[in-house]
Structure 1
Amino acid sequence: MMELVWVGTAYLVGLISSRLSFPPLVGYLAAGYILHAFGVESAQTLTHLADIGIELLLFTVGLKIKLRSLLRQEVLSVGGWHLFVVTGVAGIVFLLQGEQTAGGLILGASLAFSSTVLAIKVLDDNGELSTLHGRDVLSILILQDVVAIVLLAFADGRQPSYWAFALLLLPMLRPLAHRLLTISQADELKLLLGVSLALAGGLSAQNVGVSPDLGALLMGVMLAAHPQIDDLSDKLWSLKEVFLVAFFLQIGLTGLPNYDQVLHALGLLGMLPLQGILFFGLFLMAGLRARTAFISSLALMTYSEFALITTGAIVKANLLSPEWNSTIALAVAGSLAVAAPLNRYSHELFSWCEPFLIRFEKKSWHPDRLPESIGVAEWLVVGMGRTGQAAYLALHQREKRVVGLDADPTVLESLLAEGRRVIYGDAEDPELWSGLPLERVKGILLTLPEFDARCSAVRQLRKRGYKGQIGTICFDPEEQQQLGQLGADFMIQPLVEAGNQLARHILGDKFEF
């Protein structure tokens, strides 16, 4: 019965939160407070489910850890300096207030962490996960997560046994773990393997006196290099989210915040703009353009779910008073509620602030810099996925002067190695279209998968006065109508065209591209 009450209340309040354009996480915390107000208490079952959620979270973090991505200049300089500054300021504040400095330093570091869940969702919804700034944000989040694990191990207060060093031997089991994942062809088997390894890592670490979260992370790192790791990570993502609902409910069930806790939480929310400004300045110092720095800073301008986890560990170790649990819970929920709408309109917000913000850009070269020339190209293909590459090859085979454009550095690197003429550029960036010399260009093909990105590109091209042809893809009549109104000359529905070509082939019709 209690399980139904927990899950049902979390769903209903989470649904209301989502309909109000807030992250469901805000609703889960509110659901915990509501249940507590009605006299519902936490239970061992809920605590156990919450622990599983945290272990799955750390396991999925481990799956994404790649040393090469963490050692890039932007990641180390921006992520490292931000952690150092916020932690140092927090330590000084706690020292002046007479609180325990060690607990304040750990809490300060945890407040420097950004919400992985919200940032990834925002970037994914905007189709920016694979862009240059999307990769920078993701790498900084992973760096923060790694630091969080170290803090959890320190704050846990346990005395590890000598057997704890055996955890360092986990990488030796990598061939076996990789083999198990390879032979697990069925989706449910991959999911079960991931859960089993996460729980096994947590149990192993716990038995040697180390935080189970660290064991789950090491298990994830052990699998990180497997070619199917993205598939496994995607499958675990939703399951991990379900278990983490128990963690957020548990926070709310500990009790309603008092007046002082609410004031402290509001004070922490008031500090968020300063964190955003710090991120923006550090990104600019790393050489990124103002637009990229602004969008990346907004994505990182939140408090992390890890702050809740580390605060719980600090309180258990008696490094801070229990009241901080409710304060940090409110601050995290409030930061997500504020950040969600801001990130939804990040591009529009930058357009308003652009005249002021671009004054702070450095003039040094960086891969984020916009292209200034496309040579003698007469055709431009925007979005070098499978559809874009097919269009590029079709034009190239007809000896047309064609250039491809994409915002994914990995895609560009691969295509350049194959001898393709491609350049970096974000189609949603107005500066791209205002700066590119398009006088020679007869036609532009937009093969971007995101509808908003295609609309933005068509709008910007016509706004700057481009008179050539614009062709694009669409997936339903509504998209076709809107793209046509914005100025696209022709639209093709890929699935409809595939059906037409199949019919022509089976009937033996002869046709040419």
Structure 2
Amino acid sequence: MLQLALTLATALGLGMVAMRLHLPPLLGFLAAGFALKAVGLLPPVGLETIAELGVTLLLFSIGLKINPQTLIRREVWLTATVHMATSVAVVSAVLLAVGAVGAGLLAGLDLSIFVLVAFALSFSSTVLVVKLLEEQNQGQSLFGRIAIGILVIQDIAAVAFITLSGAESPSPWALALLGLVPVAWLLHRLLDRISHGELMIVFGTTCALLPGYVLFDAVGIKGDLGALVIGVILGRHARALELSQAMWSVKNLFLVGFFVSIGFSIEGVVGLDHLLVAAALVAFIPLQTVAYVVLLRWQGLRTRTAMLSALALANDSEFALIIATVGVETDLLDSEWLVVISLAVALSFVFSTLLGHRAPEIAEWATARVPDRPLERIVEDDRPIDIGPADAIVLGLGRVGRAAYLRLAESHGMRPIGIEIDAERADHVRAMGINAIQGDATDPDFWARCRRHPQVRLAVLAMPFHGSNVAALHQLRARGFRGTVAAISRFDDERDRILNLGADTAFQVYDGAGQSLADRAVDAARFGPSPAPTTGSEDDPAPGRWVSLGRSTASGLDGGVSR
């Protein structure tokens, strides 16, 4: 227990240091593993299990959110396969050429070894990419969906390699997994009956582990893939998003163990030659990133979208460690290569985290120098946007956003339009009669794609993540919006921050909940039942109320604070 406590304390301390440097905390978690390994401490008992559980729950969560149709988009499957083949060919050829001149660990090795190393490093890290996208609330943006789809294709290829290598041959009982089709009905019925709170978390974890990981692992197929499949099966349920959000904190806690374990994973004595070869392998990542950009633009994406997807994928995968281990076990690789690949993966995580922090600026730089293709050659969901005659915009169409939209339209006679990052939710609210378009309000190019409409005089920031509302506010002001901006927040410091950044009024959802409850209690006592208030749900992190906008900036939001 002491080792575990020390590991968590180190991860916490270095995570806070990273946060103070305006870097993602996971960079601190990575550093914690290296630091503890460097001072000679052994990994805590059970760290490997904790890390594996974190990856399993992550893939289960991906399955809950991914639309299977994304995988059959040409921008996904064709890019993934062509990039993989090209990367393996180029990297193995370069390594062979360097080895031919007798350079260190590369001297005198067969082409088959270089091909295996290149194949192991042709994947991107599902764990790292999804974690960074979630922190930036970009998982459901177009570039985020493209990146995740490519990752799933790569994961399937890695699992196929492990299976075909003979290291883990599938059992004949693997055909029995077809029985999951009727099991899907049972899982959906169970989810119908699960209450909120802890039981939801237990249900999700059990599904990820039992019919997911354990069942697939028992028949010789990687358990993580099983968790992904079960997630996809449950992903069509109406409560899939609620289930995903219920497991958010649990999954993230276990993922801390995964990032810390990367540092502990390096076996043996690390020499200068190992570091040099690992650094050389990481140096291929910029070339692989450029290849992604070229392929995605060829498939019809704008330069910015292609660049953001490529930058998200600019890392090596934890699967490389598994493939290297299989190579060592089957005598295809020398054990020294396991050290080199472990170092390369760890270095790529650091590189990708730092790069991702600057991704928007890099994408804007690239966009200014590489013009987009003609409009007719751009995919439909990446083309310019026309918001029509709207005079108000509502960013985020969860419960609070939908309530704000309806209030503006029905009580204030305005013509609002809603912007929603989640494509499925955008379709859902359109079916309810809400004028909505799918888009990422934090994306500078989303606003660049919107044709200017001077009649818009009000913007309501109703996204559930404070960082997203702040980013959207920056985009509005940067593009010359001079209308009124109103925002929601969960906490007082968030409300104060967004007011200081230029919002005209802010609504603290906790403040308004008690007032709304009292008002409706009085209404019910004196006048009979009144309309149901807007409450928290899977879409929003806190209970809310009907959003009431005053006629002037000074009036602000009911229960809120104005500047």
Shorter-chain TM-score above 0.5: yes
The Cα offsets for residues 99-121 of structure 1, whole Å up to 9 and x where unpaired, read as 34444434323312112222112
The Cα offsets for residues 325-352 of structure 1, whole Å up to 9 and x where unpaired, read as 1111111111111221321232234344
1:405 is matched with which residue? 419
* 1:194-209 matches, cutoff 5 A: 194-198=208-212, 200-201=214-215, 204-206=218-220
Structure 1 residue 201 displacement after superposition: 2.1
2:91 is matched with which residue? 90
The Cα offsets for residues 432-478 of structure 1, whole Å up to 9 and x where unpaired, read as 44553221123222222333333333334334433322222233443
1:468 is matched with which residue? 483
The Cα offsets for residues 244-287 of structure 1, whole Å up to 9 and x where unpaired, read as 479646623x2122222111111011111111111122222222
Code of the residue aligned with 2:403 in structure 1: it is A
Contact 2:213 2:224 in 1 (8 A): no
What is the distance in 2 between the residues matched to 1:212 and 1:465? 51
Aligned residue among 311, 317, 325 for 1:304: 317
SS of equivalent to 1:332? helix
Aligned residue among 3, 11, 16 for 1:14: 11
Code of the residue aligned with 1:70 in structure 2: it is L
What is the distance in 1 between the residues matched to 2:55 and 2:284? 27
Contact 2:140 2:421 in 1 (8 A): yes
Structure 1 residue 391 displacement after superposition: 1.7
Residues 1:494 and 2:504 are matched in the alignment: no
Aligned residue among 259, 277, 283 for 1:264: 277
SS of equivalent to 2:265? helix
Residues 1:289 and 2:302 are matched in the alignment: yes
Aligned residue among 426, 448, 466 for 1:451: 466
Structure 1 residue 498 displacement after superposition: 2.4
Contact 1:33 1:256 in 2 (8 A): no
Contact 2:60 2:227 in 1 (8 A): yes
Contact 1:261 1:326 in 2 (8 A): yes
Call closer, same or farther: CA 1:323–1:156 in 2, change over 3 Å: farther
Which is worse superposed, 13-22 or 383-392? Answer: 13-22
Aligned residue among 449, 457, 472 for 1:442: 457
Which is worse superposed, 47-56 or 93-102? Answer: 47-56
Contact 2:33 2:262 in 1 (8 A): yes
Call closer, same or farther: CA 1:284–1:440 in 2, change over 3 Å: same
2:78 is matched with which residue? 77
Structure 1 residue 409 displacement after superposition: 2.0
The Cα offsets for residues 186-208 of structure 1, whole Å up to 9 and x where unpaired, read as 246423454334553255225xx
What is the distance in 2 between the residues matched to 1:231 and 1:453? 19
2:398 is matched with which residue? 385
**Alignment RMSD, CA only?**
3.7
Contact 1:55 1:216 in 2 (8 A): yes
Code of the residue aligned with 2:379 in structure 1: it is H
2:162 is matched with which residue? 152
Higher helix share: 1
Contact 1:29 1:249 in 2 (8 A): yes
Call closer, same or farther: CA 1:335–1:9 in 2, change over 3 Å: farther
Aligned residue among 108, 112, 122 for 2:118: 108
1:123 is matched with which residue? 133
Structure 1 residue 160 displacement after superposition: 5.5
What is the distance in 2 between the residues matched to 1:42 and 1:498? 44
Contact 1:113 1:144 in 2 (8 A): yes
What is the distance in 2 between the residues matched to 1:456 and 1:60? 25
Which is worse superposed, 283-292 or 46-55? Answer: 46-55
Contact 2:7 2:44 in 1 (8 A): no
What is the distance in 2 between the residues matched to 1:107 and 1:290? 30
What residue ranges of structure 2 are gaps of 5+ in the alignment?
Answer: 100-107, 528-545, 550-563
SS of equivalent to 1:23? helix
Code of the residue aligned with 1:201 in structure 2: it is L
What is the distance in 1 between the residues matched to 2:292 and 2:10? 33
Aligned residue among 14, 26, 42 for 2:30: 26
What is the distance in 2 between the residues matched to 1:53 and 1:460? 34
* 1:297-376 matches, cutoff 5 A: 297-357=310-370, 359-363=371-375, 364-376=377-389
Which is worse superposed, 187-196 or 402-411? Answer: 187-196
Contact 1:269 1:331 in 2 (8 A): yes
What residue ranges of structure 1 are gaps of 5+ in the alignment?
Answer: none
- TM-score when normalising by structure 2: 0.77
SS of equivalent to 2:283? helix
Residues 1:137 and 2:151 are matched in the alignment: no
What is the distance in 2 between the residues matched to 1:411 and 1:285? 29
SS of equivalent to 1:452? helix
Residues 1:429 and 2:426 are matched in the alignment: no
What is the distance in 1 between the residues matched to 2:226 and 2:480? 58
* 1:471-486 matches, cutoff 5 A: 471-486=486-501
Contact 1:114 1:302 in 2 (8 A): yes
Contact 1:14 1:28 in 2 (8 A): yes
2:290 is matched with which residue? 277
Contact 1:42 1:250 in 2 (8 A): no
The Cα offsets for residues 153-185 of structure 1, whole Å up to 9 and x where unpaired, read as 123435656555555555565455656666666
Contact 1:472 1:491 in 2 (8 A): yes
Contact 1:63 1:233 in 2 (8 A): yes
SS of equivalent to 1:403? strand
The Cα offsets for residues 41-80 of structure 1, whole Å up to 9 and x where unpaired, read as 999x777777777777776676677642211122112222
Which is worse superposed, 62-71 or 225-234? Answer: 225-234
Which is worse superposed, 217-226 or 191-200? Answer: 217-226
What is the distance in 2 between the residues matched to 1:41 and 1:371? 51
SS of equivalent to 1:380? strand
- TM-score when normalising by structure 1: 0.83
What is the distance in 2 between the residues matched to 1:221 and 1:101? 38
Code of the residue aligned with 1:74 in structure 2: it is E
The percentage of counterpart residues that share the same residue type is 30
